[in-house]
Structure 1
Amino acid sequence: MYAWRGQVADSETENACLIDQGSCGCCLMQQQIQRMKTFFNTSLTELEQELTKTKNVLNNIRASRSAFSVSLTNKNNFNCFGPFRDDKLIPYQHVFINLGDGYSPETGIFTVPRSGVYSLALTVYSDAGSPGNTLAACANLQVNGLTVAGSKEKNMQDQEDSATVVVALHLNAGDRVAVNLPIGCFLCDDNNHYNTLTGFLLYATD
């Protein structure tokens, strides 16, 4: 900064109005610059805070991503699972996707990683083998051992049949989703993947 007596320090210029009334123009300019600096610094701080919030939201979304899609088997030969004398959980062996590792092929159970609303879709298919045989294409979608939806087709008119059930459910972290095969029912499949179970998080609620 410069004054009538040459270059001076900024601190002196800031007090120019008190020292020299003739430098009031410089003083007003300095005050305006200071106001602008304060405004820009405040705006920058607010932008940085918004950026941090946005990054946290994105990281939260990435961390909460959960999706799985599985089928009964990947074998080339056509085989049937069941019938059994007792209800049995279906261990879907072929995994298309298991984002978040919530599904276990060993148990057939999907453990909910985070509370939220999930979309769940179950498709069942069976083949009686020949006309006149009893077809029993049935399965129940369960949460913590309780049936929330299902499909049941038992008759001697159809050699083969399939059905799909789709639901949206609010699930809590730790809930266990599985498909139960009722007594006397059987599902048939090969590498065409007729029997599938799919689920994914629509949005978190925690």
Structure 2
Amino acid sequence: MKITVIFPLLLLVCSGCTDQNKQIAKQQPCPQDINAVLREMTATLTQQKFEMRLLQRENKEHAAKLEQQETELKKQETELKKQETEVDKLKQQLKVGQVAFSASLLATGSGHVGPFPKQTTLIFKHVPTNIGKAYNPHTGIFTAPVRGAYHFEWYIGTQGGAQPSGAVLVKNSQHIFIAYEHQPSHYGSSANGVTLLLEVGDVVFLRLWVNTKVFDNSNHHTTFSGHLLFTM
């Protein structure tokens, strides 16, 4: 009787265990499904990596184009500034390129200047022409306003006598040419001219030679003139 009771119980227990194992088996995924999921994830990850690399390359190309455009803009800005500077320079040259003056020694009256024991700057006070205001009638000095070639001429008059007449043209501190005349009696004159390359700020003037004299009156015999030939 005991055996009869235990055997049905064992069958019931085994049947319950079998059903529980089947339920657990249903809850756990199949190895084939896991491999498929892994393959899908791998493919997705590979696609994302490819898209990321593609995006990075596109960003690099875009950044390179932007850098190139920025470089071109800087070049254009530099070229524009250069052109503006050239235009301003040309405007300045045109503005100061109109340079010419003529002056005679005495503003009024007549008489001699000199002689002096040393070279003395001659101040030409009568100034009928001073285009560009490069000549200073208070100092007798011409100052170059622009780099270029300038032409100068000077004439000296003398009424004769023991002292000769002489005037030397000076560029900065350099003696260039001299006009010299020794007329024992009556009226005499001498003249000279020169073309000089001057830098901005160079000065040109006439000095009375040592122990010489020059004559001038209302007829303006002793003169100093100059003008700009062209800029350089």
> Which TM-score bucket, shorter chain as reference?
0.5 to 0.7
2:99 counterpart letter in structure 1: S
- Higher strand content, 1 or 2: 1
2:168 counterpart letter in structure 1: N
2:96 corresponding residue in structure 1? 63
SS in 2 for 1:101: coil
Contact 2:97/2:146 (<8 A) preserved? yes
C-alpha distance in structure 2 between counterparts of 1:96 and 1:139, whole Å: 21
SS in 1 for 2:182: strand
Q: How many residues align?
A: 147
- The ranges of structure 1 where at least 4 consecutive aligned residues each deviate by more than 3 angstroms after the TM superposition are 53-60
Contact 2:214/2:222 (<8 A) preserved? yes
1:106 Cα offset (Å): 1.2
Q: Highest relative contact order (Cα 8 Å, sep 6+), 1 or 2? A: 1
Contact 2:93/2:146 (<8 A) preserved? no
SS in 2 for 1:74: coil
Contact 2:178/2:192 (<8 A) preserved? yes
1:138 pairs with one of 162, 166, 189: 166
**What are the Cα deviations for residues 91-143 of structure 1, in whole angstroms up to 9, with x where unaligned?**
10000111111111111100111110011101111112xxxx32411110110
2:182 pairs with one of 126, 136, 154: 154
Residue 94 (structure 1) aligned with residue 122 (structure 2): no
Structure 1: 5+ residue runs without aligned partners? 1-52
Identity %: 28
For residues 1-206 of structure 1, the aligned pairs below 5 Å read 60-75=93-108, 77-128=109-160, 133-156=161-184, 158-205=185-232
C-alpha distance in structure 2 between counterparts of 1:111 and 1:56, whole Å: 19
Contact 2:93/2:231 (<8 A) preserved? no
1:159 Cα offset (Å): 2.7
**What are the Cα deviations for residues 2-53 of structure 1, in whole angstroms up to 9, with x where unaligned?**
xxxxxxxxxxxxxxxxxxxxxxxxxxxxxxxxxxxxxxxxxxxxxxxxxxx9
1:145 Cα offset (Å): 1.9
1:152 Cα offset (Å): 1.5
**What are the Cα deviations for residues 63-100 of structure 1, in whole angstroms up to 9, with x where unaligned?**
3211111110131x321111111110001000011111
Provide TM-score, normalisation by structure 2: 0.58
Larger Rg: 2
SS in 1 for 2:206: strand
1:178 counterpart letter in structure 2: F
Root-mean-square deviation (CA), in Å? 2.1
1:55 Cα offset (Å): 11
